[in-house]
Structure 1
Amino acid sequence: MKKISILMAGCLLSSICYAQQIRISGKVLEANTKQAAIAANVVLQTNDSTFVNGAATDSKGLFRIDKVTEGNYKLIISAIGFEKNIIDLQGLSQSVDVGTVELEEASQQLGEVTVSATNVVSKFDRKLVFPNKQQVNASNNGVDLLRNLMLPRLNVNPLDGGVSLNDGSSVQLCINGRKVGKEEIQALIPSDILRIEYLEDPGLRYGNAGAVVNYIVRRYELGGSVSISAQQSPYVMWGNYNVSGKMNYKKSEFGVWYGAYPHKFENAWRTNEETFVKEDGTSLHRMEEGIPDATSEYGQWGGISYNLQEANNYMLNASVGFWNENKPRVGFHSQLYTREYPELATERLDFAHNRNSRPWFDIYFQKELKNKQFLALNVVGTYIGSHNRQSYQEILDDEFVADYFSGVQGDKYSIIAEGIYEKTFKKSRFSSGIKHTQAYSDNEYSGTLNYNTQMKQADTYAYAQYSGKWKKMNYMLGAGVTRSWYQQIGLEDYETYQFNPRFSLSYTFNEEFYARMNGSLNSNEPSLSQLSAVDQLIDSLQIRRGNPDLKPYNNYRLKLTLGYNKKKVQINWYTSYRNAPDVIMEQTYRENGKFIRS
């Protein structure tokens, strides 16, 4: 068990950016066509309805209001024959692009829902979240800001920067549409974040991700910035430190980031209870009582990036980075005994020393084509080096009952190539893509048992998706095909194909209440460690063994969402059903007096 410590956090932020004045901009289109521009009036006023400034849209539906001071405002967009649209901008402290605003005809209900308290504009496939001044000032980095926004179902760990959904599903993080890891989000300066796009029902482009958080970040033409943040516990050696910097010149941006953490706990222990049933039906009830001991881990990461971008045309991003983790002392010290024979208590020493490193490179390119077409290409290369050692001992009356040592030195190389194409029509969108992953791993097991495994793996995923809007109904239909190939050298290979359909339907009853249903069929692949045909000693009674005969299994999922949004109140209700009839699960059986867990 770990002690609970009070953390002291601070942030030092300096900026030499040549920032523009506060500006509000956007684009107004007719909801029924999503292309026809509307000659609309745009009025900016305070909360007490005092006029501040105004503008009219041009022939393309674009508008811009300059020279706005910090404060609380309402942006009112109106046109003859259309319903008025009001967007609250509370705590405005930086330039804001409200994106595309669709106006419905006066006889129809609004297609947009505005939640004034959190500056959220809800569209049929995503939420546009505009951070206010208080949220920005209370945040040290992009992860902090996301936590302060308190988006529904989203869990943000302030200690390690991890982001997940409350059902355990993964969350894909992006910056300006490009997939990134949490390390790059931790390097973001909150004041540079214009808005966050939150996709609760992402399409097939994002695979099995339960949600997508896309940071839309400001670009400067000239200048730079430096950010430093630190967290340190006054009671134990627990810290988290980040430093990052950017330099902009015209269309180019150069970035660098570095982070590190030391974690050390002087009193950590484990308490465990296990029941073993033998062939003859008799049982052993084994108890483990932990003895406080020290454990520690240290990590660091960093990277550099170059970004070349021309608005509404193209973007090229190239980055290289690394991630290292060192756990010099991880494990537990305890007393081990069975209820049947409590006098035969042994001293258990189970400790490991793990070192892992992961250098990587990432090249991403996207291009806006003619006739509302979009193309993106991405190549990612990764090397993972693992050097792990484990020592396990059970001592009874100064004699070893069990004395195992194991070492694993592993090397894994992988490259991922992905292409994405999208075409937008008047009332719909077609998207497709293909993603290929090629991996090779070489693991050498030494110590009490000696093995060497070499594995090759290839996965290809292709998909097509069509989404659109019909009256008050938004829909998405898509399907993907996955080809998986795996071979452990010296054994037979296997090849499988999986069909992955997905659908989503959402209906807006009125400007306050909506319902959404989505369903999917996904294939889940066994991991390389599960497929590895080696034995690993756990303790004096147990052995862990891989199974090269494992096959992918299907995961059926159906989810229903009901949402209510009115003024400062936002209520969401979720329910889901999941069925995985052939799921990979652990089995335990007896062999030569040992319990085999496979």
Structure 2
Amino acid sequence: MIMKLFFQYICSQPLVSVDMKFGLLLFSLLFSSLAYGQETIRGMVCDETDSAGVMGVVVDCTADSVLVARVVTDGKGKFAVTADGRKTTLIKFTHVGYAPYFLSLPVQKKQDIDLGVIYLKPADTALGEVTVVANANRIDRTLVIPSKQDVRVSEDFYGLLLTMNLRNMKVDVLNKKVTVGGKRPLWKINGIPKDESEIATVRPQNVERIEYSDLPSAREADRGYGGVVNIILKKQDNGVMIAANAMTAFTTGYVNGGVQALYHKDKNDFYVTYSTSYRGYRKWTKDENSLFISPVDTIVRNATGVESRFGYISQNINLGFMRAIDARTAFSITLRNPLYYQHNIPKSILQNGVNRETNSSYRGYTPAVDVFFGKTFSNNDRLELNVVGTYSLKGKSLYTTTDVLNGQNTGTYTMPADTKRRSLIWEAFYSHNFGQMRLMVGVQNTMGKSTNTYYNPSVSRDELSENNTYAYTQLSGALGKLQYSLGTGLKYNNMDNGQRREYWRNQSQLTLSYSPSKNLFLRYYGVYYPTMPSLFALTSVVQRIDDLQLLTGNPTLRSTQNFYNSMLVSYSRNKFNSDLQVTYRYADRPIFMHIDYDNGQQLFVQRYINGIYGSQLNLNYSASLKEIFGFMNVSGECGYSYFRSKAETLAHTLGNFYWSMTVQLYYKQFTLSAYMMQPRKVLDNEIISRDEKVSRITLAWKKQNLTLTAAVFNPFTPQGSNYIDQSLSKYNPGKSKVAIHDNGNMFTLGFSWNFSFGNKGNSSRRSLNNTDSGNSILRANP
């Protein structure tokens, strides 16, 4: 329009010559053509996994195979580039650690184009080492891509986790258990929360990457998780996928196994999973040497363990349906069916010749229905809703101790009980991104009711109800190389077992991280959180354990205030990775099981009390070196822990070292690995405990979708697994040792296999995981 008016004005002037008019006409036509052809292309580049803007993405515009423009995204991931609208333009987005993204634009009639948000996906090509990719050391997680060698040397998914040496993660390959910072992690597969039993069928070669955090956010903090492990799998096929794995020992009762069947069709997933863990040990022993000190007497109680039966079977059957309604909306429903049965018959001979046998068993079944809805809006805000309902069918607990001397029954002490529990759990979560900042807000609520029936010394019913509400918010962002995250939440807990208790508590956390170079990463993490008394710890029911002891709860318990701080220095270069970490934890009024003497009943009483304080200082260094000489990986850790505690008038301290090491040798389809660890001792108020020493040698053979393994557990500890406890109690000092001799030199064989066919497709994603972890029944440990 401007050029049209300008041309009309020139032609209307009488003093302008015809030649000049013609020249101005050509100039205006040329300028008009150039102006019409120029277009400004704008947009924003974000990470597909969390919608955070990605800085430093190279945006190349090509026309007729010629590069015509290049820009780089700013700190918020935004860009603007000028290109020729008269030609088809190919735009390429590239960034280290992300898969390239291509976009073709046809000839445009408009001058300006807004592409909206372009999502980049972290690269799925295997790197030469297990190290974080660019931008991966984020404030909330670390992105880890397994290398070909990591997949090659790992016999199963637990082996892969052990090989990757993830920060603060402990992997128990024998029992198929994983902890992060001493707590259970929140498991996810493609963002969908899973039980730990459901990850057993994940094969290392199907893992695209792992999004890992050893720091729970404000969202996970109230659920008791130590971190988050999100396993991103390679794209599913339209069709059927079947996976199975099993490991068994031929000399003792030991089986781990699982089967998964999944049918994927376009936007829908139907799946069923089954997993089991079985133990049937026959050489379980417990030796005890203890004193029972009353104001008037000291009783010596020494017990020599006799080889006994110890076993359990855990089974999980899950049925699920997921639907990706559209690219931004997902719905899922899952029916979970966990079944558990445990039966122990420990036997011992007391120092006075009495033969003691304890029959302890528990069975339970707690089905649950889990419904989820998630939606990402056009501005990249995210809404997630989750509702879970559980109903525990009658759980049965039995604990009977029988003493026999010279064939005569000298005492029987029984603690039978039944339990029922039902709960409703819901959560609403919303996140909003603005600039380089991300704001999360949410509300979690758990309503539960437990009914316990105790049958000795008389029939009594104990009803406990709870209403736990937690509202939280968390702000994360970056200022240059400095990343920050600040979260806080208000917790309301209402518990009633005939006596109503209300708790209002705050829990807050701060995380700061800084990367002065691509090889160095620094992080500070501090958190304050309360620990509420458990339902069973608040009961007033009293039960008789044996001839000397009673067991009860404590309705007057107070909440514990916890303070935790950690400093991390992480260094990576080529195939070398290392972490140096210092942590300090302090608990004010910690809750623990205490024993004292009741003068009225002239018996010793085990009950929960609040101590005065407990603290732990820990120094840990871990390192790994990959592909040494092209056929070896080495990783390990060492550390020192110092504990302090005080309960009533007695103070205790403990300091000790611990270490672990893994060596892997690989050649073609074969991998030989060895693992050894020296566990640390832990002081928990009045109890010093040490977990089992573990050693393992494994030979694995892989070909395509089949893996075969042979392993020897504890070849250097023929006595098997040993667990040692020491009591520092004023009234009941002593030591105990539990040994599972079946685990010594235990030889196992295992396999894993999967089969799939069809066309590529995508699965819907979710990120909530709400389960009922309430435990209300008071039980003794054999």
Pairwise TM-score range, normalised by the shorter structure: 0.7 to 0.9
Q: Could you tell me whether the CA contact under 8 Å between 2:487 and 2:509 is conserved in 1?
A: yes
> Which residue in 2 is equivalent to 1:548?
555
Deviation string for 1:20-41 (max 9, x for gaps)? Answer: xxxxxx9688xxx936784446
Report the Cα offset of residue 453 of structure 1: 0.5
User: Of residues 473, 488, 499 in structure 2, which corresponds to 1:479?
Assistant: 488
* Counterparts of residues 300-379 of structure 1 (less than 5 Å): 300-309=315-324, 312-327=327-342, 329-337=343-351, 344-379=352-387
Counterpart check, 1:205 vs 2:212: no
CA distance in 1, matches of 2:329, 2:556: 46
User: Of residues 87, 94, 99 in structure 1, which corresponds to 2:121?
Assistant: 99
Report the Cα offset of residue 98 of structure 1: 7.3
> Which residue in 1 is equivalent to 2:584?
577
Counterpart check, 1:558 vs 2:565: yes
1:151–1:40 Cα change, 3 Å: same
Q: Match for 1:235: what amino acid?
A: T
Q: Match for 1:99: what amino acid?
A: K
CA distance in 1, matches of 2:147, 2:99: 10
* Counterparts of residues 525-540 of structure 1 (less than 5 Å): 525-540=532-547
Report the Cα offset of residue 311 of structure 1: 6.8
CA distance in 2, matches of 1:378, 1:116: 39
Deviation string for 1:241-265 (max 9, x for gaps)? Answer: 2111111111001111112233111
* Counterparts of residues 233-244 of structure 1 (less than 5 Å): 233-244=249-260
Counterpart check, 1:181 vs 2:195: yes
Deviation string for 1:488-544 (max 9, x for gaps)? Answer: 1xx220111001111111111211112111111111111111111111222110111
CA distance in 2, matches of 1:27, 1:131: 25
* Counterparts of residues 130-529 of structure 1 (less than 5 Å): 130-137=145-152, 139=154, 142-165=157-180, 167-207=181-221, 208-220=224-236, 222-280=238-296, 282-309=297-324, 312-327=327-342, 329-337=343-351, 344-384=352-392, 385-488=394-497, 491-529=498-536
1:421–1:184 Cα change, 3 Å: same
Structure 2 spans left out of the alignment, 5+ residues: 1-43, 62-69, 80-91, 101-118, 608-782
Report the Cα offset of residue 376 of structure 1: 0.8
Q: Match for 1:546: what amino acid?
A: G
Q: Could you tell me whether the CA contact under 8 Å between 1:259 and 1:302 is conserved in 2?
A: yes
Q: Match for 1:516: what amino acid?
A: R
1:470–1:36 Cα change, 3 Å: closer
Q: Match for 2:424: what amino acid?
A: I
Report the Cα offset of residue 370 of structure 1: 2.3
CA distance in 2, matches of 1:28, 1:382: 38
Q: Which has the higher contact order (CA 8 A, sep 6+)?
A: 2
CA distance in 1, matches of 2:325, 2:165: 32
1:209–1:58 Cα change, 3 Å: same
Range moving further from structure 2, 145-154 or 254-263: 145-154
Q: Match for 2:315: what amino acid?
A: Q
Report the Cα offset of residue 240 of structure 1: 1.3
CA distance in 2, matches of 1:27, 1:507: 23
Report the Cα offset of residue 228 of structure 1: 1.2
Report the Cα offset of residue 100 of structure 1: 5.7
Deviation string for 1:411-431 (max 9, x for gaps)? Answer: 111121011110111111100
Counterpart check, 1:117 vs 2:125: no
Q: Could you tell me whether the CA contact under 8 Å between 2:57 and 2:93 is conserved in 1?
A: no
> Which residue in 1 is equivalent to 2:596?
589
Q: Could you tell me whether the CA contact under 8 Å between 1:78 and 1:85 is conserved in 2?
A: no
1:115–1:219 Cα change, 3 Å: closer
Report the Cα offset of residue 139 of structure 1: 5.0
Report the Cα offset of residue 277 of structure 1: 1.2
> Which residue in 2 is equivalent to 1:45?
none
In the alignment of these two chains, the number of paired residues is 509
Report the Cα offset of residue 151 of structure 1: 1.6
Deviation string for 1:185-243 (max 9, x for gaps)? Answer: 12334444321101122311111422110112344362121111111102112111211
User: What secondary structure is seen at the aligned counterpart in 2 of 1:146?
Assistant: helix
CA distance in 2, matches of 1:259, 1:35: 40
Q: Could you tell me whether the CA contact under 8 Å between 1:28 and 1:40 is conserved in 2?
A: no
Deviation string for 1:104-158 (max 9, x for gaps)? Answer: xxxxxxxxxx985115323222211222334445556544433343322211222
User: What secondary structure is seen at the aligned counterpart in 1 of 2:160?
Assistant: helix
1:544–1:258 Cα change, 3 Å: same
CA distance in 1, matches of 2:78, 2:131: 22
> Which residue in 2 is equivalent to 1:8?
none
Range moving further from structure 2, 386-395 or 142-151: 142-151
CA distance in 2, matches of 1:156, 1:180: 17
CA distance in 2, matches of 1:57, 1:335: 80
1:57–1:163 Cα change, 3 Å: farther
User: What secondary structure is seen at the aligned counterpart in 2 of 1:580?
Assistant: strand
CA distance in 2, matches of 1:140, 1:320: 30
Q: Match for 1:276: what amino acid?
A: F
CA distance in 2, matches of 1:246, 1:387: 34
Deviation string for 1:251-296 (max 9, x for gaps)? Answer: 001111112233111211101122211113x422311110112222
Q: Could you tell me whether the CA contact under 8 Å between 1:411 and 1:443 is conserved in 2?
A: yes
User: What secondary structure is seen at the aligned counterpart in 1 of 2:537?
Assistant: helix
1:460–1:228 Cα change, 3 Å: same
Deviation string for 1:561-595 (max 9, x for gaps)? Answer: 11111111111011111111111122322221100
Q: RMSD in angstroms over aligned alpha carbons?
A: 3.0
CA distance in 2, matches of 1:145, 1:223: 27
1:86–1:323 Cα change, 3 Å: closer
Counterpart check, 1:34 vs 2:48: no
CA distance in 2, matches of 1:213, 1:566: 24
1:412–1:138 Cα change, 3 Å: farther
CA distance in 1, matches of 2:419, 2:482: 51
Report the Cα offset of residue 447 of structure 1: 3.8
Deviation string for 1:374-421 (max 9, x for gaps)? Answer: 111111222234211122012223333321122111011112101111
Q: Could you tell me whether the CA contact under 8 Å between 1:115 and 1:565 is conserved in 2?
A: no
CA distance in 2, matches of 1:157, 1:380: 29
CA distance in 2, matches of 1:87, 1:587: 54
Q: Could you tell me whether the CA contact under 8 Å between 2:244 and 2:258 is conserved in 1?
A: yes
CA distance in 2, matches of 1:374, 1:418: 14
CA distance in 2, matches of 1:57, 1:379: 46
Q: Match for 2:346: what amino acid?
A: F
Structure 1 spans left out of the alignment, 5+ residues: 1-25, 43-55, 63-76, 90-96, 102-113, 338-343
Q: Match for 2:330: what amino acid?
A: M
CA distance in 2, matches of 1:410, 1:196: 39
Q: Could you tell me whether the CA contact under 8 Å between 2:201 and 2:245 is conserved in 1?
A: no
User: What secondary structure is seen at the aligned counterpart in 1 of 2:451?
Assistant: strand
CA distance in 2, matches of 1:215, 1:406: 43
CA distance in 1, matches of 2:288, 2:441: 49
Deviation string for 1:16-62 (max 9, x for gaps)? Answer: xxxxxxxxxx9688xxx9367844469xxxxxxxxxxxxx9999999
Q: Could you tell me whether the CA contact under 8 Å between 2:431 and 2:439 is conserved in 1?
A: yes
Q: Match for 2:276: what amino acid?
A: A
